[in-house]
């Protein structure tokens, strides 16, 4: 090896004495810097090496859980009766492995229908996880649609991971094509907690906006975050969709029309509010979106946003929330807000203390007590899905008396 290196440099020296060496000089240096200076190994080691390193780092060889996520397409009914074509992360019961999906029949029998956003994933600090992404393929598209063979990834938004499991295509791994799968090895640090998201990072304008996102929660202890205790928690993910653009993807699949996107639905946990209060698909009739609490309790809201260009303005009537964390970090100086702007990718952890009405009512008109009050997007564009007010990201705080038995 030593002698071959010697010969190599001897050859370069001889070459440099030739007249035409000036012409080749830049190429020569480029060659030398590539072969001699850069390491022979590729930047990121292969899948097996990542796995070995993962187990070595984890120090226990123990995986807390292996979760299987499947990407496919489908329809979601909105509260105004419209069926919107979406892409989504879904799964089988308990996120178990049901193998590769090859037909629509297999998909519909083995997997839950897609939901936008995808179901929340909750991981525990200090544990190891393997998340397996399966591309289950498209089954609702026109045959000639340009999206029939697209690939996907999972980007764990906010977790600051190494490139190998960061979900950016070809950095260094190819994204996951129909029929393929990919394993993401995650070691969650002991000191990490908070609110995060997962989303696809392939052709992100199309894949993210089409519905490929889900809330990801890192929890140290139940009913506690950043040292604060709470009684109940709600994850509220605000997002937008252009149902006409989605229909274009389904039929034609021209992914180069990203700038044509014009959202006509603004959603809270994938739903819109309806003025018909008993509409079962409305935000307020979803137990994950209607904020129910009892006098004297503390409620944590994990607010998240996914968007094209909409900035949401989260505004609960009657309550100032204490913002204690953002983007997976504890705030050293928490602050109170009744209107909180949130843009695509951001997360806020907000505590709402519901006073005990009987002992802490401050004034006759203060809205602290049992009853219902509104919470909505104060960016008015968001409050007009399909052009109709108040069909947007709006829900209610439903505060109940202590004497009524709480439903945990
Ligand atoms: Cu994707």
Task: Please write the tens of the pLDDT for every residue from 79-113.
Answer: 999 999 999 999 999 999 999 999 999 999 999 99
Instruction: Please return the burial class of 44, using the count of CB atoms within 10 Å of its CB with bins 0-12, 13-18 and 19+.
Output: middle
Between the CA of 151 and the centroid of ligand 1 the distance, in Å, is: 6
Q: Is 232-400 the same fold as 48-220? A: yes
More confident residue, 172 or 199: 199
Look at residue 31 in the predicted model and tell me its pLDDT.
Answer: 41
Q: Write the CB contacts of 14 (distance below 8 Å, at least 6 apart in sequence).
A: none
Domain positions in the chain are 2-37, 48-220, 232-400
Between the CA of 16 and the centroid of ligand 1 the distance, in Å, is: 51
Task: Give the model confidence (pLDDT) of 220-264 as tens digits.
Answer: 999 999 999 999 999 999 999 999 999 999 999 998 888 899 999
Residue in the block written with tokens 């843009």: 343
Look at residue 61 in the predicted model and tell me its pLDDT.
Answer: 61
Quick one: which of 160, 150, 103 has its CA closest to 249? 150
Helix, coil or strand: residue 308? coil
What is the average per-residue pLDDT within 270-297? 96
2-17 and 21-32 helices, crossing angle to 10°: 160
Between the CA of 282 and the centroid of ligand 1 the distance, in Å, is: 28
pLDDT at 17 over 70: no
Cα separation, 274 vs 226, in Å, equals 35
**Which pair of structure tokens corresponds to residue 282?**
């409305």
Between the CA of 213 and the centroid of ligand 1 the distance, in Å, is: 10
- Are 289 and 258 contacting, i.e. CB atoms less than 8 angstroms apart? no
Between the CA of 265 and the centroid of ligand 1 the distance, in Å, is: 21
Between the CA of 169 and the centroid of ligand 1 the distance, in Å, is: 10
Between the CA of 152 and the centroid of ligand 1 the distance, in Å, is: 4
Between the CA of 92 and the centroid of ligand 1 the distance, in Å, is: 19
Cα separation, 219 vs 125, in Å, equals 6
Q: DSSP assignment, residue 50? A: H
Between the CA of 174 and the centroid of ligand 1 the distance, in Å, is: 12
Between the CA of 72 and the centroid of ligand 1 the distance, in Å, is: 9
Confidence of residue 24 (pLDDT cuts 50, 70, 90): very low
* Domain 232-400 CATH assignment equals 2.60.40.420: yes
Between the CA of 129 and the centroid of ligand 1 the distance, in Å, is: 21
Look at residue 5 in the predicted model and tell me its pLDDT.
Answer: 46
Instruction: Please return the burial class of 42, using the count of CB atoms within 10 Å of its CB with bins 0-12, 13-18 and 19+.
Output: exposed
List the CATH code of the domain at 48-220.
Answer: 2.60.40.420
More confident residue, 284 or 15: 284
Task: Give the model confidence (pLDDT) of 298-309 as tens digits.
Answer: 999 999 999 999
- Are 196 and 169 contacting, i.e. CB atoms less than 8 angstroms apart? no
């Amino acid at each position: 090896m030593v002698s071959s290196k010697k010969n190599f440099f001897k050859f370069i020296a001889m070459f440099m004495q030739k007249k035409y060496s000036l012409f080749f000089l830049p190429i020569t240096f480029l060659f030398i810097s590539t072969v001699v200076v850069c390491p022979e190994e590729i930047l990121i080691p292969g899948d097996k090496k990542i796995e070995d390193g993962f187990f070595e780092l984890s120090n226990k060889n123990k995986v807390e859980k292996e979760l299987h996520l499947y990407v496919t397409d489908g329809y979601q009914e909105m509260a105004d009766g419209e069926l919107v074509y979406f892409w989504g992360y879904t799964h089988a019961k308990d996120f178990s492995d049901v193998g590769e999906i090859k037909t629509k029949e297999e998909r519909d029998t083995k997997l839950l229908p897609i939901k936008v956003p995808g179901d929340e994933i909750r991981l525990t600090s200090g544990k190891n996880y393997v998340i397996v992404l399966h591309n289950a393929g498209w089954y609702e598209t026109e045959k000639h649609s340009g999206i029939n063979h697209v690939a996907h990834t999972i980007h764990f938004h906010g977790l600051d991971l190494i490139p190998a499991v960061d979900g950016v295509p070809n950095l260094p791994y190819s994204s996951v094509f129909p029929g393929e799968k990919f394993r993401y090895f995650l070691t969650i640090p002991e000191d990490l907690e908070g609110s995060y998201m997962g989303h696809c990072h392939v052709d992100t304008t199309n894949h993210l906006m089409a519905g490929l996102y889900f809330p990801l929660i890192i929890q140290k202890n139940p009913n506690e975050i950043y040292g604060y205790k709470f009684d109940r928690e709600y994850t509220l993910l605000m997002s937008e969709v252009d149902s006409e653009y989605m229909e274009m993807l389904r039929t034609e699949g021209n992914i180069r029309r990203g700038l044509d996107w014009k959202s006509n639905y603004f959603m809270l946990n994938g739903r819109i509010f309806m003025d018909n209060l008993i509409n079962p698909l409305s935000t307020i009739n979803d137990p994950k979106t209607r904020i129910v609490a009892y006098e004297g309790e503390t409620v944590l809201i994990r607010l998240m946003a996914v968007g094209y260009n909409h900035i949401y303005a989260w505004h609960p009537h009657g309550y100032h929330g204490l913002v204690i964390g953002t983007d997976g970090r504890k705030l050293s100086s928490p602050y109170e807000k009744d209107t909180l702007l949130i843009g695509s990718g951001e997360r806020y952890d907000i505590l709402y203390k519901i006073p005990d009405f009987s002992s802490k009512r401050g004034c006759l008109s203060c809205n602290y007590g049992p009853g219902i009050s509104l919470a909505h997007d104060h960016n008015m564009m968001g409050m007009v899905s399909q052009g109709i007010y108040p069909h947007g990201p709006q829900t209610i705080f439903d505060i109940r008396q202590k004497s009524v038995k709480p439903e945990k």
